[in-house]
Amino acid sequence: MNKTYYPRLDETVLRETLPNGLRLCIVPKPQHVKKYAFFAAHYGGMDVRFSLDGEKFDTPAGIAHYLEHKMFDTEEGNALQELAKNGAEPNAFTSNEITAYYFDCTEHFEENLRILLSFVSVPYFTAESVEKERGIIGQEIRMVEDNPEWQVYEQMMQLLYKEHPARIPVAGSVESIADITPELLYACHKAFYAPGNMVLCVVGDVNADRVREIAMEILPREQGASIEREHGVGETAEAAQAAQSRRMEVSMPQFLSGFKCEAPCKGEEMMRAVLIGDMACDVLLGDSSALYQRLYDAQLINGSFGASFDVLSGAAYLYAGGDSNDPQRVHDEILAEAARIAREGVDETLYQQTRRAGFGQSLRALNSFESIAVSLAEGTFRGFDPNRFPELYDSIEKADIEAFIRENIVAERAVLSVIEPKEDGE
């Protein structure tokens, strides 16, 4: 296996692409008793339209997430119980781009790894079991429908994007999942769960050769066919719609200001773009920014306020929000401050401090086995090495941040999503 040591992080990663196309990453952690395995498919909530060997598919919203729920079923029973018997804590998630299955344990690691690799690679669905899951997922969707933080986010995505499937909720809707069948689930598994479309990350004190052997033994020999995903054909640079508000049972208004940004290219340029977007967030909206202090002092925002920059295939967006009694005012102030920075530039001291703080925060994230695995998997699918952040921070200049803000944080790209409290008697 290919070994890379990162002296500025004191981290080591072993990498190899197996003959069946599986990308394998192992991060040794000799001082920890916890062992963690993370097995991910490059398949998420936004991969609803795709072609496989030239054949076109148009699948229901929420199918990747539905598949995740059903993968735990095996012909013998349920993999959750198998893992739990060994004291492993298994779980799974589906994001816009990734479906991941993982566990942590202290003992029986190799046996648990075998269980993980087999249940994810061997589908077993029946009409009855697929039907039964509809009730459970239906309740998961209902839970999200009553959650204002989710709703304000989903509403923002729909304001930002007209075509791009990032606007589709990962779990779909009660209606969209109504017609999902075992046949459809088998077809999606075949398309996206081939070794060539997957990554296995292991973090902990494990025997790397054994991990490799087990993966070779259990997973299919074939790489799988090539997939073409449809991500945002015909999407424009401007936001789809400027603003929307709806009422829910909340104590005060919640909002998100969203900004549709230029979608970055692939590889290390993409990672650099992510760091630039993150730094732009901090410079413009972070705790140390002039705007944050001003809005906080004026009681327009509180501790719930936060900002983030997210990148997906074919989409990138910066957003900020929280609770506020005057979302429109905050939204306008963000745009005005961005315009000021675009004109006058970023303060040099603030910029240097932000860079140093960004490095510290990225480093601290390496304490979490899960975040190590998620970033390695994402980096593998996107073609970059996430552990190169110290070098990339070095390569970023103040002018990059200014250019980002000048181009992206402007009215044509901006949306305002608000959830307001119900009025009395409603």
Q: Which is nearer to other proteins, 90 or 195 (CB)?
A: 90
| Segment lying near other proteins (by CB under 8 A), choices 53-61, 225-233, 245-253, 394-402 | 245-253
Q: Is residue 354 classed exposed, middle or buried when 0-12, 13-18 and 19+ CB atoms within 10 A define those classes?
A: buried
Cβ distance 282 to 276 under 8 Å?
no
Q: Which residue, 174, 191, 199, is CA-closest to 41?
A: 199
- Least Å distance, CB 111 to other proteins, is 12
Query: Beta 99-105 vs 35-41: how paired, if at all?
Result: antiparallel
Task: For tokens 């997210």, name the residue.
Answer: 310
Q: Is residue 193 classed exposed, middle or buried when 0-12, 13-18 and 19+ CB atoms within 10 A define those classes?
A: buried
Q: Which is nearer to other proteins, 87 or 383 (CB)?
A: 87
| Segment lying near other proteins (by CB under 8 A), choices 179-187, 209-217, 267-275, 346-354 | 346-354
Q: Which is nearer to other proteins, 156 or 227 (CB)?
A: 156
Contact flags string 99-128 toward other proteins, x per CB under 8 A:
-----xxxx---------------------
- Least Å distance, CB 108 to other proteins, is 9
Q: Annotated catalytic residue: which of 68, 133, 154, 402?
A: 68
Q: Which is nearer to other proteins, 64 or 88 (CB)?
A: 88
Which 10-69 residues touch other proteins, going by CB under 8 A?
Answer: 10, 29, 31-34
Which 183-242 residues touch other proteins, going by CB under 8 A?
Answer: none
Of all residues in the chain, what percent are helix, strand and coil, respectively (each to 5)?
Answer: 45, 25, 35
Q: How far is CA 282 from the centre of its chain?
A: 20
68 is catalytic: yes
Measured distance CA(70)–CA(133) in Å, rounded: 8
The size of the interface with other proteins (CB under 8 A), counted in residues, is 74
Confirm or reject binding of residue 323 to other proteins (CB under 8 A).
yes
Q: Which is nearer to other proteins, 2 or 299 (CB)?
A: 299
Binding other proteins by CB under 8 A: which of 99, 197, 313, 354?
354
Measured distance CA(238)–CA(272) in Å, rounded: 23
- Least Å distance, CB 173 to other proteins, is 12
Cβ distance 11 to 368 under 8 Å?
no
Which 375-404 residues touch other proteins, going by CB under 8 A?
Answer: none
Which 117-176 residues touch other proteins, going by CB under 8 A?
Answer: 132-137, 139-140, 142-143, 145-149
| Segment lying near other proteins (by CB under 8 A), choices 191-199, 256-264, 361-369, 397-405 | 361-369
Query: Beta 306-312 vs 198-204: how paired, if at all?
Result: unpaired
Measured distance CA(103)–CA(208) in Å, rounded: 17
Task: Tell me phi and psi for residue 42, to 5 degrees.
Answer: -80, 75
Name residue 43's amino acid. Y
Which 68-97 residues touch other proteins, going by CB under 8 A?
Answer: 78, 80-81, 84-91
- Least Å distance, CB 204 to other proteins, is 9
Confirm or reject binding of residue 251 to other proteins (CB under 8 A).
yes
Which 289-308 residues touch other proteins, going by CB under 8 A?
Answer: 289-290, 292-293, 296-297, 299, 302-304
Q: How far is CA 136 from the centre of its chain?
A: 23
Confirm or reject binding of residue 374 to other proteins (CB under 8 A).
no
Strand spans (E) along 233-283: 243-248, 254-261
Task: Tell me phi and psi for residue 387, to 5 degrees.
Answer: -80, 0
- Least Å distance, CB 139 to other proteins, is 4
Q: Which is nearer to other proteins, 202 or 263 (CB)?
A: 202
Q: Which is nearer to other proteins, 70 or 164 (CB)?
A: 70
Binding other proteins by CB under 8 A: which of 110, 249, 262, 397?
249
Phi-psi map region of 53: left, alpha, beta (phi>0 left; psi -120 to 50 alpha): left
Instruction: Please list the active-site residues.
Output: 68
